[in-house]
Amino acid sequence: MATTSIATLQKMKREGVKISSLTAYDSSFAKLMTEQGVDFMLVGDSLGNVVQGRNSTVPVTLDDMAYHTKCVRRGAPEAFVISDMSFMTYSTPEQTYDNAATLMQAGANMVKLEGGEWLEETINGLHTRGIPVCAHLGLLPQSVNVLGGYKVQGKEEQQAENTLRQAKALEAAGAQLLVLECIPSSLGKRITDALTIPTIGIGAGPDTDGQILVMHDMLGMNSDYLPKFAKDFLAQGGSLADAFRLYTEQVRSGEFPAPEHCYK
């Protein structure tokens, strides 16, 4: 299969081809996802929850992220890999540059940061220094203590306008990809239509340029809780390889996410 790049993802947006992505944390799953056509992988700080057994992403360290990025890269040497910058590792531009370099040297093609307009200077500095950035708006797991829990964001018109404004600002600052998490489908469409960079939704409706899920959710491994925006593809596919292939096919066709996976 062809190697994914930022240019590939931008071309997919222009041509209306949906982008499929999943979180990955180790070599074996990264290899299998790539073989089944997943367009890119995110080494998510969600590893704090699904790998380390913690109740949030806050305790995850930069060393944790670098370690898992190296594991994913070994399993998928040619894949496009994004790595999360963990909690409080990008408080200032200078701190961010050093920590982003650590993740890039570990094997990332791009780093992801959670937050809005306060990150404009940082994103611009990373872009200038040759480090591609994926921004993240909507529900911000690292800010769950401020948000008061895992709640849908942007439901009120003022909140929606604020999120749209921030999305435009982050694109102007140099972000080349944007993750939108837990927002109404209508807002996901508004933001996607307003930007030239690809948007990747997780609970952001069917009109974003692509979708991402936490691997453990789409395999039904969190038996006590399945988020509204997730679907158990392993139950339908029957094997790990089939689950990843089915996910990619249903994202590409628009079958996933269905209305029951979306927020109004």
Catalytic residues: 181
b vs e for 131-146, b when ≥16 Cβ sit within 10 Å of the residue's Cβ?
A: bbbbbbbbbbbbebee
Q: Is 35 among the annotated ligand-binding positions?
A: no
Q: Is 26 among the annotated ligand-binding positions?
A: no
Peptide bond just before 257 cis, omega within 30 deg: yes
Q: Is 11 among the annotated ligand-binding positions?
A: no
Q: Is 84 among the annotated ligand-binding positions?
A: yes
For 10, the enclosing helix (H) or strand (E) is helix 6-15
Name the CA dihedral angle for 22, 23, 25, 27, rounded to a multiple of 10 degrees. 10
Beta-strand runs (E) in 127-197: 133-138, 177-181
84 φ, ψ (degrees, to nearest 5)? -70, 140
- Max alpha carbon distance in the chain (Å)? 47
16 φ, ψ (degrees, to nearest 5)? 75, 25
Q: Is 209 among the annotated ligand-binding positions?
A: no
Q: Looking at this protein, which amino acid is placed at residue 12?
A: M
Those residues whose C-beta lies under 8 Å from the C-beta of residue 146, and which sit 6 or more positions away, are none
Residue 57 DSSP label: S
Those residues whose C-beta lies under 8 Å from the C-beta of residue 219, and which sit 6 or more positions away, are 232, 233, 234, 240, 243
Q: Looking at this protein, which amino acid is placed at residue 173?
A: A
**Residue 228 region by backbone torsions, left for phi larger than 0, else alpha for psi between -120 and 50, else beta:** alpha
- Binding-site annotation, residues for 3-methyl-2-oxobutanoate: 45-46, 84, 112
- Binding-site annotation, residues: 45-46, 84, 112, 114
- Binding-site annotation, residues for Mg(2+): 45, 84, 114
